[in-house]
């Protein structure tokens, strides 16, 4: 893959090879048409995925905000001409420390732009929000065309327990949760 650009402050960039590599405990992938409905569909899928991964509702809002901003940026700034149908790929990776890596791929080669906006502006703050609600974020070009914008969002929780590990079948995960609950009594 290409080099990633991690955006720090206006006019400042740091070069990264890719997002840092960590083991992945879970993965969810979704392909959407670049339309006005993409944001709502992405949020619904992310919410369902976090529920399946056992993340409490109270810990989902930061991630949902980041997903909303990244997908909205594709719809607003990377949409194809009206005669074409664009797609975006959304990937969620569950990392061992209760962090979720969000990756949004689109066909545009234009990197995301961190802008300074007027206090009265109604838009233009999305990437600043992404930076505020994530531990790190960046973008990198894709060799086959387009780019990926990614962000690592910690769910403000203890690391997910071992029963969330993908190598255990669902019945064992459920039994593990029951045993942990009994142990905590």
3-class secondary structure, 91: strand
Decide if 66 is inside a domain: yes
168 assigned to some structural domain? no
Q: Looking at the domain assignment, is residue 153 inside a domain?
A: yes
Cross-strand partners of 89: 31, 105
Structural domains counted in the chain:
1
Residues 65-78 have pLDDT tens digits of 999 999 999 999 88
The more confident residue out of 131 and 113 is 131
> Where do we find the tokens 């980041």?
66
**Residue 103: predicted pLDDT:** 97
**For residues 18 and 140, is the Cβ–Cβ distance under 8 A?**
yes
- Residue 133, in any domain of the structure: yes
Return the DSSP state at 144.
T
Name the residue range of residue 42's domain.
4-160
Residue 136 forms part of a structural domain? yes
Is 150 a domain residue? yes
Q: Is residue 166 part of a domain?
A: no
Residue 44 covered by a domain: yes
Closest CA to 106 of 67, 145, 63: 145
Q: What is the largest CA-CA distance in the chain?
A: 61
Phi, psi of 40 (to 5 degrees): -65, -40
pLDDT tens per residue, range 88-128? 999 999 998 889 999 999 999 888 877 776 677 566 667 88
C-alpha to C-alpha distance for 112 and 125, rounded to whole angstroms:
12
- Residue 179 is predicted with a pLDDT of 47
Average pLDDT over residues 27-47: 95
- CATH code of 50's domain: 3.30.565.10
136, 22 Cβ separation under 8 angstroms: no
């Amino acid at each position: 893959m290409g080099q990633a650009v991690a955006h720090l402050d206006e006019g400042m960039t740091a070069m990264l090879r890719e997002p840092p590599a960590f083991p992945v405990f879970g993965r969810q992938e979704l392909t959407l048409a670049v339309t006005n409905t993409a944001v709502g569909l992405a949020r619904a899928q992310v919410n369902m995925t976090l529920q399946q991964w056992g993340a409490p509702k109270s810990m989902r809002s930061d991630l949902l905000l980041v997903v909303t901003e990244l997908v909205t940026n594709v719809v607003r700034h990377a949409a194809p001409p009206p005669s074409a149908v664009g797609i975006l790929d959304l990937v969620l990776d569950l990392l061992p420390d209760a962090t979720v890596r969000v990756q949004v791929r689109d066909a545009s080669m234009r990197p995301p732009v961190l802008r300074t906006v007027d206090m009265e502006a109604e838009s233009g703050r999305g990437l600043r929000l992404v930076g505020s609600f994530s531990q790190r974020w960046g973008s990198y070009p894709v060799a086959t065309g387009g780019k990926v914008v990614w962000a690592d969002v910690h769910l403000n929780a203890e690391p997910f327990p071992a029963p969330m590990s993908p190598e255990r079948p669902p019945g064992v995960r459920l039994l593990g949760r029951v045993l942990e609950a009994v142990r905590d009594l």
